[in-house]
A and B are shown apart, each in its own frame.
Chain A
Amino acid sequence: MYCLWCQEEIVPEVTWTTIFKIQGDQKDFCEQCKSKLPFIQSPTCPKCCRPSPQEQICPDCLRWEKHPLANTLHQNISIFTYSLFMKEVMSKWKYRGDYEIIYAFKKEMKQKLHQAFQHKELTIVPIPLSKARYKERGFNQAEAIANFMEKPIVHALERIHNEKQAKKSRRERLQSENPFRVVKDVFGHVVIIDDLYTTGATLHWAASLLKQHGAAQVDSFTLIRS
């Protein structure tokens, strides 16, 4: 087994469990690389999962409460913050297109989803990519995350505008029009999946649409809360 990040060989520790457990084809980071990942530590903001003292609602979410899209997104769950190392990892995964890196987060993602929603019946909706971007990258990062959730996936959304979000300022993002349209109706409890929660604009737009089209409650799950 080799580390997905530094390519060094990982020699698993020999214990009774590892002897008797059949070792599948695990793909992971080595201990050292894993220790550099910025896991979110509680206390966090109960709305968006950003680290926040005494579980106060963070200033970002207070601002959202005054926005027309308030109360569309119930809660966001994330695993990591956005450190310099995480930026490097994300850029290799998304922009270089090294798909395999996602396997390193498989265990944490499943755990976190289970922790947050237990055995509730969920519908997973990944945030879509535009066709041009999908062709360029070869995969949709939100779908890659969604594939690990072992829950029914519904591709309910489609992009209308291009998604050069990263190049927009906060204000521009919050004011722009809804970049999605609904192509399939949903119902019940929906969890939207994306890779990053930055201002929350993308997820709020998606949530408001899904609520209009039949969802009872909309939460979101992202790899990173920056």
Chain B
Amino acid sequence: MNSSPTNLLSGKLLLQQELPFSEKEIQSFIHTGVLQEVPGIKEHIFGFVCIRCGNQKSHLFGAIPRDDEEIVYCRKCIEMGRVSTCEPLYRWTGAKLQMPQATEALKWKGKLTQFQQDAANQIETAMLNRARLLVWAVCGAGKTEMLFQGLAAAMGRGDRICLATPRADVVRELEPRFREAFPNITISALYGGSPDRDEGSPFVLSTTHQLLRYEKAFDVMIIDEVDAFPYHADQSLSYAAKRARKDQSSLIFLTATPRTKLKLQSNLNLIPTVFVPARYHGHPLPVPRFVPCYNLKKSLKKETLPSKITNWIAEKRNANRRFLLFASSIAAAEKIAKLTGMECVHASDPERVEKVERYRNQEMDALITTTILERGVTFPSIDVAVIEADHQVFDEAALVQIAGRAGRNAKDPYGDVVFFHQGKTNGMVGAKRMIEMMNDLAKRR
């Protein structure tokens, strides 16, 4: 691949240590006017702003004392290298990056359902018109396949494309699928610790964190799972996603469970929306059952599980069904694992990736998990139960996503979804209502 400075630096905003050039080369770039030094931290009326991540919170700035004056640095994005008043950012102002126009890039030969085809057409139009679009598609609708048509058209025009998602797991899961569908296109998959490097690829798969290194780079920006943690909670990520796009660019959100703000924008027609209410196999979504379990907390304290839950587990075991049990916290997951003798997985588990892989390969029949497996992962034929579904971590979006793990296989489209709770919450009721609404919408069309 051509590793010219244009390819390496165009559309990015990097620290000196991230520039793959010697100090002498950098100086000569600056001298000839193709590289520009941008201050990393700016002072404003009430404090500082980090130019890379947009952080303005005073407690997220640090100071290093020096004899003359102190150096102010941003603590918020320090994991990606320190930006400070002494460590500026660099912007390429030389030749613009030209993408190749790839004709017939798409080698995928599958067929879309009617719902998917409608959405795919709208996605293509939005990409063409540099417009915004919300794709509200249920879990298991086949979102990735719906993108193919539009992506192929954009690649044909020589657009630079980015698909960003808050979760590295999702990037890892999507990468092989896109490589298979677009075998002749250079694709870079970026996440913390990824082996790939972007040297001017026409198609970048990335976590939203990695977008902090980009500026005005992409003609098409797709954000998958917009409502997932930490994107919706971390302002710097939407700041980064916005800056990474060109002024004239298309923005496409993909989600099964938009947050209130996006839902409102959609309802007010501020953002054009396309619904995909049915799954790719055409069967309705499994509707969750509520099972009250009022002695749940007490039982857990006494190191036992309520009989309703143990019965459910026994039932699944007898029927030879594979299942996932969702717990509210790491501590709860570990406790339930101890009580049932099953394996559990959570965010701070060093064997996290291996365990999920073992479950996927059917080496385990059951797995206890925290909300880390709520989205972005597909296990073909499973049932799910949520223990303590009334816990605050299980909001409406999380519960809809969890319910969406069941029945994803065309051969086994009816999964069992159970919420064990100690009193219904708005989240639970809302989740059930949203699933029923989508099923209704699918039936009517």
Q: How large is the interface on B (under 10, 10 to 19, 20 to 34, 35 or more residues)?
A: 10 to 19
**Bound CA–CA A147/B87 (angstroms):** 24
**Inter-chain contact B65/A97, CB cutoff 8 Å:** no
**Bound CA–CA A139/B73 (angstroms):** 12
**Inter-chain contact B78/A98, CB cutoff 8 Å:** yes
- Is A96 an interface residue when CB atoms closer than 8 A count as contact? yes
**Inter-chain contact B59/A99, CB cutoff 8 Å:** no
- Is B242 an interface residue when CB atoms closer than 8 A count as contact? no
- Residues of A close to B75: CB separation below 8 A: 98, 100
- Residues of A close to B79: CB separation below 8 A: 96
**Bound CA–CA A81/B63 (angstroms):** 27
With A99-B63, A99-B73 known as contacts, the answer to whether A138 contacts B78 (CB < 8 A) is no
**Bound CA–CA A139/B63 (angstroms):** 11
With A138-B64, A138-B82 known as contacts, the answer to whether A97 contacts B59 (CB < 8 A) is no
**Bound CA–CA A128/B4 (angstroms):** 40
With A2-B59, A138-B84 known as contacts, the answer to whether A147 contacts B64 (CB < 8 A) is no
**Bound CA–CA A92/B62 (angstroms):** 13
- Is A7 an interface residue when CB atoms closer than 8 A count as contact? yes
- Is B71 an interface residue when CB atoms closer than 8 A count as contact? yes
- Residues of A close to B81: CB separation below 8 A: 96
- Is B86 an interface residue when CB atoms closer than 8 A count as contact? yes
- Residues of B close to A147: CB separation below 8 A: 65
**Inter-chain contact A99/B64, CB cutoff 8 Å:** yes
**Inter-chain contact A96/B59, CB cutoff 8 Å:** no
1/0 per residue, CB under 8 A from B, across A153-191: the answer is: 000000000000000000000000000000000000000
**Bound CA–CA A219/B59 (angstroms):** 36
- Residues of A close to B410: CB separation below 8 A: none
1/0 per residue, CB under 8 A from B, across A120-141: the answer is: 0000000000000000001100
- Is B429 an interface residue when CB atoms closer than 8 A count as contact? no
- Is B300 an interface residue when CB atoms closer than 8 A count as contact? no
**Bound CA–CA A2/B71 (angstroms):** 21
- Residues of A close to B71: CB separation below 8 A: 138
**Inter-chain contact B60/A138, CB cutoff 8 Å:** no
1/0 per residue, CB under 8 A from A, across B143-157: the answer is: 000000000000000
**Inter-chain contact A7/B78, CB cutoff 8 Å:** no
> What distance in Å separates the Cβ of B301 from its nearest Cβ neighbour in chain A?
22
**Bound CA–CA A45/B272 (angstroms):** 70
**Bound CA–CA A99/B85 (angstroms):** 14
**Inter-chain contact B64/A139, CB cutoff 8 Å:** yes
- Residues of B close to A100: CB separation below 8 A: 62-63, 75
- Residues of B close to A2: CB separation below 8 A: 59
**Bound CA–CA A97/B71 (angstroms):** 12
**Inter-chain contact B60/A97, CB cutoff 8 Å:** no
1/0 per residue, CB under 8 A from A, across B52-71: the answer is: 00000001101111000001
**Inter-chain contact B62/A99, CB cutoff 8 Å:** yes
**Inter-chain contact A7/B60, CB cutoff 8 Å:** yes
> What distance in Å separates the Cβ of A76 from its nearest Cβ neighbour in chain B?
26
- Which chain A residue has the least Cβ–Cβ distance from B81? A96
- Residues of B close to A1: CB separation below 8 A: 59
- Residues of B close to A97: CB separation below 8 A: 64, 73, 78, 82
> What distance in Å separates the Cβ of A225 from its nearest Cβ neighbour in chain B?
26
**Bound CA–CA A138/B81 (angstroms):** 13
> What distance in Å separates the Cβ of A126 from its nearest Cβ neighbour in chain B?
14
- Residues of B close to A98: CB separation below 8 A: 62, 73, 75, 78, 82
**Bound CA–CA A42/B196 (angstroms):** 48
> What distance in Å separates the Cβ of B216 from its nearest Cβ neighbour in chain A?
27
- Residues of A close to B64: CB separation below 8 A: 97, 99, 138-139
**Inter-chain contact A138/B86, CB cutoff 8 Å:** yes
1/0 per residue, CB under 8 A from B, across A91-129: the answer is: 010001111100000000000000000000000000000
Scan residues 87-132 of chain B and give those whose CB is less than 8 A from a CB of chain A: 87
- Which chain A residue has the least Cβ–Cβ distance from B17? A136
**Bound CA–CA A7/B81 (angstroms):** 18
- Residues of A close to B86: CB separation below 8 A: 138
**Inter-chain contact B82/A96, CB cutoff 8 Å:** yes
> What distance in Å separates the Cβ of B22 from its nearest Cβ neighbour in chain A?
14
In the complex, besides A96-B81, A97-B78, A138-B64, 12 extra interface pairs with C-beta distance below 8 angstroms are: A1-B59, A2-B59, A7-B59, A7-B60, A96-B78, A96-B79, A98-B82, A99-B63, A138-B71, A138-B84, A139-B64, A147-B65
Q: List, sorted by A's number, 6 A–B pairs whose CB atoms are closer than 8 Å.
A: A7-B60, A97-B78, A100-B63, A138-B64, A138-B84, A138-B87
